[in-house]
Chain A
């Protein structure tokens, strides 16, 4: 079920009515669990079985691990959990990709092998909920946390509908305790939650889908290389689109959870005002980057080994992080580029770290722009359908296509220039601020007018039906 649909409005109203009806806390949790399964099944009912499998296996694995001190037994249960979760992810998400690469290798070796293409449907949000539930068993295995007391609470942790299909990827310690005691949103929390949902949908439907997406689709989908100016506008449009699409989802999810009385963590924090790449990853898809840090980078050794080993760990983490986004080598390259950026940044910090001039605002701004440039270059590989398209786009961007086609209309040019310059200004202005602190300083009628404008634009936008980009991951 999409947030940006009439169906969700009806669904959410029913959920709110049941949640705020005079039933027991357990009854409320059961109703939320049922609602979450309906939310997921509305897309493809049989795939609820995957959620149940993941829930059942991880619940039992964690219990068994916790009940014994025998390292071998504990490891076996952890491996079972990882095998089931990564196995599901591997089959549904990477099955076709692995087969395709295997066939290429076999054919390169001179064998005539051409199996039928597998017809595998990717279950929505599988990358998100498998990571979330794996965090649970890994935490119990590492004795960072104890298993949930109640199967109902754990099932709801795996399935909680606001963040089920596209995050934020919530840690067990952040969410399970919230299910243990009755929580009811105050009227202020409910209204602010609705405000966040409006803001998230505005980002997705008006800014991403209406203003920016047509431009990036035009440029990346054109049959011939485009002019350098059009290439940059198309790339900037995608840069804004992917942010507003994904941050829009996260904001809506946070708002929906808040309406029900639950607190989800932030997933984005003005990433295009990042100064450097480690700063970028502290601001972009925070729940994934912190997951990768805690469950991949640190277990690989983090920065505790030699310089070379640290660089290897960074590259491997970002490479796998790239593949997490999609079963394609273009995503892998996107991850590798970010790994490379982090390695170079780490290397440069060793040389220039602590210099006074680095604190100069102009230098910071310059470094921010440089960060933004390289982040955008990496987006080329994230967005392009294949390496040929990515190569042509890179050539267009850097002026190697002398007769590139000018395809963008004046409206498209103004949309990108207006949209992206506003976005960058907002990100820099809010770099050290929060949305909450800004809204708190506004007068009530200013808040009302801005909120009304967003609602009105959403209504006349008539948009709907466009899935969030991150659903496919």
Chain B
């Protein structure tokens, strides 16, 4: 049996169709697939997952575009995951009296490329709040994803080439995602599920850094709300704490699992290893140019009438001492404010920004973010007056 029958003389152009009672096949297909998907959805809801939005490049692009079109009353937030988790937009909107506060921070990467692109390629002259997670802002490592700004750059590139098909896809995803809990790219998709099958790896396998387990639901406005499970399942939260410490434990882009775990244990005891040579090399030579680069952008933004403020959201537990050890405040945060001449809000300087619960040491539990935001916005407003 041939699949494609072509005869130019007789004008015959046909594809063979296998003989089957196709209508019965389609009915069976519907009878099997629809209940299977329903059960799949119910199963994940039963596991505590709720419908939400995925943190996609298109969702970021949508808000980046709105930020670009913002007027002088608009506030745009850049930064990394702490800004996305800790700031409750509805609280800020309520305090401000409008909804001109836009979340453009990106999880897992430094904000400098995004800020730089925004300043250089827009006329925006409102207010920029740049959230600083020291490890993502002040360390650069060409071999470590996230620490090399490639993730941020990929979002920028995506935005500048955001095409009609991707915009249409985004609109359709927004219509579907709020109705299905099982749609959780990177965590409940087939690849992610397969990856979590507990196979035993070769002992000498060199592993990449671990990704954190799922711990937030995403909103339409790009807020991440911490998953309730972290409040009750301390083992689950502890697992994510170790993931953060793991980034400090890395001394190569890949390590054996045992070396990685041993590094984490040392971090927990406060036994910090020397900085990776590449990061160490970056510090004296590239750090100066980093400050020159960010200062150039800040001054350019200020010259066209924009207002700029840096914030340093809280970290806690075993993570905070690690940050303090590798990235002491006086060498980094204080220098950032000094060189740019911008005001800054460091959580350690304000009692009202302290005492919030960070179940995995780096991000705030969802129900406390309105109170934190209220306190933070009050200080920001005072600083910018």
Interfacial residues, chain A to chain B (CB-CB below 8 A): 1-2, 5-7, 10, 41-45, 173-175, 177-178, 181, 186-189, 191-192, 206, 209-210, 214, 222-223, 254, 258, 262-266, 405-411, 414-415, 434-437, 439-440, 442, 444-445, 447-449, 451-452, 455-457, 459-465
Contact = CB atoms under 8 A, between A and B. Distances in A.
Q: Contact residue range for chain B?
A: 35 or more
B163 interface: yes
B17 interface: yes
B235 interface: no
A211 B165 CA distance: 26
B185 interface: yes
Looking at A173, A177, A411, A449, the one whose CB has the most chain B CB atoms below 10 A away is A411
Interface in B13-44: 13-26, 28-29, 32-33, 36-37, 40
Contacts of B173: 6
Given A191-B22, A265-B6, A2 B11 contact: no
Interface stretch (B80-88, B114-122, B186-194, B368-376): B186-194
Nearest to A437: B1
Nearest to A181: B11
Contacts of A210: 190-191, 194
A250 B244 CA distance: 44
B335 to A, nearest CB: 31
Contacts of B207: 407, 409
B269 interface: no
B172 A6 contact: yes
A449 B13 contact: no
18 contacts: A10-B172, A42-B164, A42-B168, A43-B164, A187-B23, A192-B15, A192-B18, A411-B197, A415-B194, A436-B1, A439-B18, A440-B18, A444-B25, A455-B29, A455-B33, A456-B32, A456-B40, A462-B185
A440 to B, nearest CB: 4
A263 B4 contact: yes
Given A447-B25, A457-B190, A462-B190, A434 B3 contact: yes
B160 to A, nearest CB: 11
Interface string B250-263: 00011000000000
Contact of B13 (A41, A178, A460): A178
Given A258-B15, A451-B25, A174 B6 contact: yes
Given A43-B165, A191-B22, A409 B206 contact: no
B22 A266 contact: no
Given A2-B165, A408-B205, A462-B185, A192 B17 contact: yes
Contact of A7 (B14, B26, B168, B202): B168
Contacts of B184: 462
Contacts of A223: 143, 253
B204 to A, nearest CB: 6
Contacts of A435: 3
B17 A266 contact: no
B182 interface: yes
Given A6-B173, A192-B22, 6 more contacts: A174-B6, A262-B13, A263-B14, A407-B207, A456-B36, A460-B40
Given A410-B201, A462-B189, A5 B37 contact: no
Contacts of A456: 32-33, 36-37, 40
B275 interface: no
Given A5-B165, A6-B172, A409-B205, A434 B17 contact: no
B195 interface: yes
A410 B199 contact: yes
B194 to A, nearest CB: 6
Given A409-B205, A444-B25, A462 B188 contact: yes
Nearest to B58: A465
Contacts of B5: 263
Contacts of A445: 28
Contact of B202 (A2, A214, A254, A406): A406
Nearest to A6: B172
Contacts of A44: 163
Nearest to A177: B11
A451 B4 contact: no
B28 A449 contact: yes
B361 to A, nearest CB: 27
Nearest to A145: B8
Contacts of A263: 4-6, 13-15
B331 interface: no
Nearest to B189: A462
Q: Which 7 A-B pairs have the closest CB atoms?
A: A448-B28, A42-B165, A410-B199, A440-B18, A452-B32, A462-B189, A437-B1
B183 interface: yes
Given A191-B25, A263-B13, A444-B24, A43 B172 contact: no
A472 to B, nearest CB: 14
A405 B28 CA distance: 48
B189 A460 contact: yes
A128 B21 CA distance: 37
Contacts of B16: 434, 436
B13 A174 contact: yes
A264 B14 CA distance: 8
B190 A461 contact: yes
Interface in B323-354: none
Contact of B20 (A2, A45, A262, A444): A444
Contact of A264 (B4, B193, B202): B4
A6 B188 CA distance: 18
A45 B207 CA distance: 43
Nearest to A463: B189
B165 to A, nearest CB: 4
B176 interface: yes
A148 to B, nearest CB: 14
Interface in B172-225: 172-173, 176, 182-185, 188-191, 193-195, 197, 199-202, 204-208
A445 B201 CA distance: 39
B61 to A, nearest CB: 13
B271 interface: no
B367 interface: no
B165 A1 contact: yes
B165 A437 contact: no
Nearest to A173: B8
Contacts of B22: 187-188, 191-192
A448 B189 contact: no
A448 B36 CA distance: 14
Nearest to A452: B32
A7 B170 CA distance: 9
A463 B190 contact: yes
Contacts of A452: 28-29, 32-33, 36
Nearest to B26: A191
A456 B185 CA distance: 16
Contacts of A461: 189-191
B114 to A, nearest CB: 21
B280 interface: no
B17 to A, nearest CB: 5
B2 A206 contact: no
